[in-house]
Amino acid sequence: MNSNYKNIIENAYNKAKSLKDKGQLATYIPELANVDPSMFGVHMTKVDGSNFGIGNYLIKFSIQSIAKVLSLTMAYSILGEKLWKRIDVEPSGTKFDSLLLLETYNGIPRNPFVNSGAIVICDVLVSHLDNAKEEFLEFVRDLSGLPELTYSDKIADSEKAYGYRNSALCNFIKSFGNIKNEPAEVLDFYFDMCSLEMNCQQLSYTFTFLANGGRKLVDGKKIISKSKCKRINALMLTCGFYDESGEFAFKVGLPGKSGVGGGIVALYPNNYTIAVWSPLLNPKGNSYKGMKLLEDVTTYSELSIF
């Protein structure tokens, strides 16, 4: 890690850390309401293998919607371009759990990262895998190099108990014929998928394949083709931050994905991935300090994709 990056990350971290604790925890998932709001960590992994972290970057947190990028990767590698018949690739401009546009577009979600799109992705995996839960977990274990990684029953159960809106989304899409399996089975997998926990170091490492042309850093194993990798990165840039995706592209200028656990992962192709965690969310559901830190990192390094 050249010292320039280290300094930029340290300065951005210290600046964001000193900000007043604005934002709210994601209290609608009871388990997430118990998280220490003062937690703040960041970790960068470069494609040359060097890495650097500061703050609470070794403490695990619930990655939530960030897992949607990994399920998309798996579904896309199975179905190829046929996937886009069932999910669009447009920013939604509405809240991540909105039902509004599903009526307009006959049950086709706007993109794979809003809840409705991720639920359709889960349906695709349930249809094409013998055991979607197990095989998805194996896939993420391989990417992350974490053979012990497992779903968090506590978080999944907490979401299942309060997941009325996601149940409504799944049943509504089913009424248009765009969910092929039983909604209960699809939702069970969806809640488990969102319950994965990692720390910033593990998360930044897990996503390096998307900064490395679709290949794992450690052994060069191909996860997806270069062109599919490009498309996933494009979707992260345009749709990765709910209805604040334009703002993130404008201020940070990197493909990325946030989760309501307060995590954000972003990447600069052929260069690095960076994961940041601060659980207090802004009104759009994105980490308040995480957004500020990443804006500073790309502003001062003058390295974004633009």
Contact 68, 257 (CB under 8 A): yes
pLDDT in tens, 189-199: 999 999 999 99
- Architecture of the domain delimited by 65-193: 3-Layer(aba) Sandwich (3.40)
Domain ranges in the chain? 3-62+198-301, 65-193
Tell me if 3-62+198-301 shares its fold with 65-193. Answer: yes
Band of the pLDDT at 164, cuts 50, 70, 90?
A: very high
Give the predicted TM-score (pTM) of the model.
0.96
pLDDT in tens, 261-303: 999 999 999 999 999 999 999 999 999 999 999 999 999 888 7
Residue 14 has pLDDT above 80, yes or no: yes
What local confidence, expressed as pLDDT, does residue 306 receive? 81
Q: What is the C-alpha to C-alpha distance for residues 267 and 262, in angstroms, rounded to an integer?
A: 17
CATH of domain 3-62+198-301: 3.40.710.10
pLDDT in tens, 208-236: 999 999 999 999 999 999 999 999 999 99
